[in-house]
Amino acid sequence: MTKEKNSKQKVSNKEESDEVAEVARAALDYHAKPIPGKIGTALIKPCETQEELSLAYTPGVAAPVRAIAADPMEAYTYTAKGNTVAVITDGTAVLGLGNVGALAGKPVMEGKGVLFKRFADIDVIDLEVTAESADAFVETVVNVASGFGGINLEDIASPHCFYIEKALKERLDIPVFHDDQHGTAIIISAALINALELQGKEITDARIVCLGAGAAAMASMKLLIKLGAQLENIRMVDRNGVIRDGRENLNEYKQAFAGKFSEETLEDAMKDADVLIGVSGPNLVSSQMVQSMAEKPIVFALSNPDPEITPDHAFALRDDLIMATGRSDFPNQVNNVLGFPFIFRGALDVRASAINTEMEIAAVNALARLAHAPVPQQVLSAYHKQQGTLYFGPEYIIPTPFDPRLKDYVATAVAKAAVDTGVARAPYPKHYPPIMSE
């Protein structure tokens, strides 16, 4: 019996290995053929005649050069600056692969460019920076930033990512946005607002466990606090247990979430918790931990591709929970593509000098509000759903990435917040819906 069992296991492992290899081959072919890479440049003005060539380059190009030299804001009028974002990494925290180096991070940066262009028609230049220190990275970005309308930082390890973003925000007059922090925080917050509503709970009272203490975790908890969550109700858990007073070697960022807590372990923290937000690693949460949570709990298991707990294990002992993951094959996918393309779209369209907290909260509220709206047929078709099967409820707390209304909801809300808070350097776009009074 044991031999038969071992034989079946070997067959199963081989099939799984073959499937992984096939997916890898398909991905490599996709990136290599027919032309290497995923993004390129395209001409947006004609250059077919001598006259057009003279306008595109010398002598005609001298006119916009002089205009920009006299007034740098004219770069938005005469160049692609206003629709171009630099996606920049040092390759120290690429996906779940760790510190693979700047060059190895290039496929991900190109992928980010695909998403910017596909969902918000924003052009991207990807920059992979090899720097010996955080300060060297900052100097490099500052020195090249003037040609871009915004900076999207990506896949930079903590705690350097916090320092880098802060330094760049202080020195640049264009939006600087670390998507691993704030993009994730915005989508989590929007989904959680709706999940709490469905469960009949208030964010001010919710006991929240955050499994993970990296960039996404820190930013998510900070944004939730700005939305009403209470610091004393939050337990942040890293690989050494609950972050609390008395623990040694806590950096300044973790120390901000420490308190006089009695809980020491994840298991302790999960008892009677209303919310679990997992931004850590696979299979760290047991069914028994979920069972120990309060009535009508909310579980966001966002580790990708393997969540902290799978839906089948989570629902095995609870039928009153709402669950989200980072995967597209389960309901309620928490996906950053719901946010960053449209946040930058709104910021670029008003020539914003920053993406501030008010703009982030505007994006949160827009996403949460959109999930309440009837789902259009285009979305149902994309997900092979029948009319009436996708609606606001436990299995639809956040819009889907292919919802064509995301730009209207999110970009307009962000642009309005930029205008309202004084960081916009251009008026609210005429092609946007009118700004509505609150």
Catalytic residue positions, numbered: 57, 112
Please report where in the chains the tokens 């372990």 appear, as a residue.
Answer: 265
Q: What tokens does 350 get?
A: 């008003």
- The answer to whether 184 and 219 have CB atoms below 8 angstroms apart is yes
Between the CA of residue 202 and those of 211, 295, 332, what are the distances in Å?
21, 14, 20
How, if at all, do strands 234-238 and 208-211 pair?
parallel
Between the CA of residue 436 and those of 407, 418, 428, what are the distances in Å?
17, 14, 12
Between the CA of residue 23 and those of 31, 106, 117, what are the distances in Å?
12, 20, 25
Distant-in-sequence, close-in-space partners of 383: CB < 8 Å, separation ≥ 6: 390, 400, 402
Q: Over 23-41, what HEC string results? A: HHHHHHHHHHCCCCCCCCC
Q: What tokens does 240 get?
A: 């050494």
State the CB neighbour count (10 A cutoff) for residue 68.
17
Three-state DSSP at 57 gives coil
**282-295 burial: b if 16+ Cβ within 10 Å, else e:** bebbbbebbebbbe
Give Cα 334 distance to the centre of its chain: 9
377: burial class by Cβ within 10 Å (0-12, 13-18, 19+)?
A: exposed
